[in-house]
Chains A and B, each alone.
Chain A
Amino acid sequence: MTLLSVEGLRVEFPTDEGTVKAVDGVDFTVDRGEVVCLVGETGSGKTAACEALTRIADGAAVAGSVHFDGRELTDCDDRTLRSVRGDRIAHVFQQPGTSLDPVYSVGDQIIEAIRLHDDASRSEARARAISLLEDVGIAAPAERIDAYPHQLSGGMRQRVAIAVALAADPDLLVADEPTTALDVTLQAGLLELLQELSSARDLAVLLVTHDLGVVAELADRVVVLYGGRVMERGGVGALFDRPAHPYTRLLFRSLRGVAEGTDDRPTPADGGCPFRSECPHAVPDCADGYPAFHAANGDAGHEVACVFYGPDYDIATLGGGGGS
């Protein structure tokens, strides 16, 4: 069942050098209990897109539709939005420090989060906080609950940040690069935890990452972003077996050590395919409006926004796959 449905999402930031379109028309959905990964590089708009869901970024102008569990969030007033944020949609960030306050103990922060959304007594909330810490894999939760964030390791802090996020029993967890700052050993454990939480609590997870390894471990479905647009989306199996978009193929080739492209910043959104300046196959049509979505390789739900998959071109021109 669809929990979140995002349509035509646009996010703009005012800067000294004019307005920057971070997201320029993005569609995706997340079902209950499902893990969807937004994959993209710096500047792809992945973070702006997920921060726009509950409008947590200051100064961003958000347009389009964000439909969450029967409610249109873009029309909501600030009060309603605040209650959705945290209560129904919780966020976890790359640096666990972003979600945790250094001057309060771990327990105080979880207890506050519980009591903000539920009128539990302090002792009830404390008991629940301890069992939440246990759920996220913190050993000796009854002792650690009185620890301060700086007394915990990076891996434990990220687990605590997840416990805070889960305090109000949300339906959707939005996790922005939650494992990027961690070692591989800790990353593996944290991905396993997110997987367990998703199935045990029927929790939908929207995971933002640049790491295809993380996607392979966790995603049910994948949305590939570049320059504020969706390049390709589909089930994780189909997308890894047969990546369709020239950009996605480039990503996989890079993982095999093939160095291509330049370190220039992507060209700003201008209505054409944002990838065309880097694309080895670009044709004049790529500048003629945003490419429409076409079925990719005949896999159900696997779609690609590239003119080569339209009726006027032959996908054979793109050459072989490039998947995992």
Chain B
Amino acid sequence: MSGGDPLLSVRDLKKHYPVKRGFLRRTVGHVKAVDGIDLELRRGETLALVGESGCGKSTAARSLLHLDSPTGGEVRFDGESVGSFDDAELNRFRRRAQLLLQNPDEAFNPRIPVGESVAEPIDIHGVSDAERREELVADRLERVGIDPETADRYPHEFSGGQKQRLALARALVFDPDLLVADEPTSALDERVQTRILSLLETLQARHDLAILFISHDIRTVRRFCDRVAVMYLGEIVERGPVDAVFEDPQHPYTQALVDAVPTLDPDERGGTKPLGGDVPDPADPPSGCRFHTRCPVVIPPEEYDIDAETFRAVLDLRLAVTADDVDIQRLRNRLDDGDDERLRAVLRERYGVPVSLPDDDAEGALSAALDALLAGDEEAALEQLETSFTTVCERREPETHETAAGSAACHRRDESSPF
């Protein structure tokens, strides 16, 4: 890793898309795909951006490259603000900062020989010397381990791994300083992935290339990257050196990603409970900590003596009632008009709520809410649940705290937090 100023510095980057409805296409809201992220990347360094689909990783990549203009924030490249570039400067920036995509087929026209496709950026940026052009292509093909003699063949004559090598050759035509690689290996077989990553490592060392590696594959990131930023719903929730972050995650979302990675040991299967639910709609992100709707260790209300797992279950029930997902009538029909006692038990079981909460006040509040629900008064049930079972995680946005090796944004790290 080289010292000095960062090659890429991203401050408070935002990319919001308007949501339009109706005949007049009025803007009724915004999808906050990227909502204020900071990143720093030095020459020769690999930074991973990880998270589930829909968390905003790819949008972040496109907007920091100014392929889509950011809604807000600043991107500095080699000390200069990309937002203030004129066309010529932007062209120069695009030569120095390249994007490598997941599917190499998108980079190649099936009817054009691969050598021509690799040379395409040269033509766009106006290098007209034919001999120089041919030399460049041959050299880049050699770098990625493709025989230059095969440059006149067509894409379908190459394997998936070879096509990704060709896409890489094309990205490297101008000797870029920065490579943004968006899931570059996730469509490939395991052994091909390993070989491509090893090639990237070699090229990086030789050319002092900075790589922003976007991935949902924790195992690959651990193997290949220096530092990691974990992204959830448009925000960065944790960052630090890969080993520290993945060996001792400080944010529950990072922990959940790590827990979801299969162990490769058949004796240890089914260890942890998978993270429930999907990534929420970024047009309407949850309040406070955006992860509170799924977090397995969401902080219980101070006034009750209940553990995080129990509170998670009660909160799941509350969120289901909010989302109108609890259909008492149907449940009654299914239980053949079973009595209310049975109905209560089934509801509790469905959300993992114990038969009776260990705290009397909490149990009183929950019973009252279930009574209202069974009586058909959903509004009262919801009000009861929303006043009795709230968490700091939904009330306040967590601050970003320094951790042993990096930082994490979680209320469990607040000084006032009992955890």
Interface residues of A (CB under 8 A from B): 41-42, 130-131, 139-140, 142-143, 153-156, 183-189, 191-192, 195, 210-214, 216-219, 236-237, 240, 250-251, 254-255, 257-265, 324
Instruction: Please give me the 10 A-B residue pairs with the lowest Cβ-Cβ distance, nearest first.
Output: A213-B262, A263-B161, A259-B198, A140-B325, A188-B274, A41-B189, A189-B274, A184-B260, A183-B52, A188-B260
Beta-carbon contacts under 8 Å, B264-280 to A? 264-267, 269-270, 274-276, 278-279
In the assembled complex, 16 residue pairs joining A and B whose CB atoms fall closer than 8 Å, in A order, are: A130-B330, A140-B324, A153-B278, A185-B260, A188-B275, A216-B264, A237-B266, A237-B267, A240-B266, A251-B191, A254-B194, A258-B194, A260-B191, A261-B191, A263-B162, A324-B265
- Can you name the residue of chain A whose Cβ is closest to the Cβ of B195? A259
- Can you name the residue of chain B whose Cβ is closest to the Cβ of A189? B274
- Can you name the residue of chain B whose Cβ is closest to the Cβ of A183? B52
Q: CB distance A263 to B192 under 8 Å?
A: yes
Interface residues of B (CB under 8 A from A): 52-53, 145, 159-162, 165, 189-195, 197-199, 216-219, 223, 256-257, 259-267, 269-270, 274-276, 278-279, 320, 323-327, 330, 334
Instruction: Please give, as numbers and ranges, the residues of chain B lying within 8 Å of A186 by CB-CB distance.
Output: 52, 278
The A contact surface, by secondary structure, is helix
Instruction: Please give, as numbers and ranges, the residues of chain B lying within 8 Å of A216 by CB-CB distance.
Output: 262-266, 269
Q: CB distance B266 to A185 under 8 Å?
A: no
Q: CB distance B260 to A187 under 8 Å?
A: yes
Instruction: Please give, as numbers and ranges, the residues of chain B lying within 8 Å of A261 by CB-CB distance.
Output: 191, 195
Q: CB distance B274 to A185 under 8 Å?
A: yes
A-B interface pairs (CB < 8 A), number: 131
Instruction: For the complex, give the distance between the alpha carbons of A236 and B263 in Å.
Output: 13
Distance between B188 CB and nearest chain A CB, rounded to angstroms = 8
Q: CB distance A185 to B275 under 8 Å?
A: yes
Q: CB distance A236 to B274 under 8 Å?
A: no
Q: CB distance A265 to B159 under 8 Å?
A: yes
Distance between A178 CB and nearest chain B CB, rounded to angstroms = 14
- Can you name the residue of chain B whose Cβ is closest to the Cβ of A193? B274
* A257-B194 contact, Cβ under 8 Å, with A41-B189, A139-B325: yes
- Can you name the residue of chain A whose Cβ is closest to the Cβ of B222? A257
Instruction: Please give, as numbers and ranges, the residues of chain B lying within 8 Å of A142 by CB-CB distance.
Output: 327, 330
Set A42, A185, A260: member contacting B189, Cβ < 8 A: A42
Instruction: Please give, as numbers and ranges, the residues of chain B lying within 8 Å of A254 by CB-CB distance.
Output: 190-191, 193-194
Instruction: For the complex, give the distance between the alpha carbons of A154 and B161 in Å.
Output: 26
* A140-B262 contact, Cβ under 8 Å, with A210-B190, A259-B195, A263-B165: no
**Taking each of A139, A212, A262, A264, which has the highest tally of chain B beta carbons within 10 Å of its own beta carbon?**
A139
Q: CB distance A139 to B260 under 8 Å?
A: no
Instruction: For the complex, give the distance between the alpha carbons of A185 and B260 in Å.
Output: 5
Instruction: For the complex, give the distance between the alpha carbons of A324 and B264 in Å.
Output: 6
Q: CB distance B265 to A214 under 8 Å?
A: no
* A219-B216 contact, Cβ under 8 Å, with A139-B325, A184-B261, A251-B190: no
* A184-B161 contact, Cβ under 8 Å, with A240-B264, A251-B190, A261-B191: no
Instruction: Please give, as numbers and ranges, the residues of chain A lying within 8 Å of B265 by CB-CB distance.
Output: 216, 240, 324
Instruction: For the complex, give the distance between the alpha carbons of A251 and B279 in Å.
Output: 32
Instruction: For the complex, give the distance between the alpha carbons of A252 and B159 in Å.
Output: 22
Instruction: For the complex, give the distance between the alpha carbons of A217 and B218 in Å.
Output: 17
Distance between B352 CB and nearest chain A CB, rounded to angstroms = 13
Instruction: For the complex, give the distance between the alpha carbons of A219 and B262 in Å.
Output: 13
Instruction: For the complex, give the distance between the alpha carbons of A250 and B198 in Å.
Output: 15
Instruction: For the complex, give the distance between the alpha carbons of A192 and B325 in Å.
Output: 23
Instruction: For the complex, give the distance between the alpha carbons of A178 and B196 in Å.
Output: 25
**Taking each of B162, B165, B217, B278, which has the highest tally of chain A beta carbons within 10 Å of its own beta carbon?**
B278
Instruction: For the complex, give the distance between the alpha carbons of A210 and B160 in Å.
Output: 14
Q: CB distance B264 to A140 under 8 Å?
A: no
Distance between A218 CB and nearest chain B CB, rounded to angstroms = 7
Distance between A146 CB and nearest chain B CB, rounded to angstroms = 13
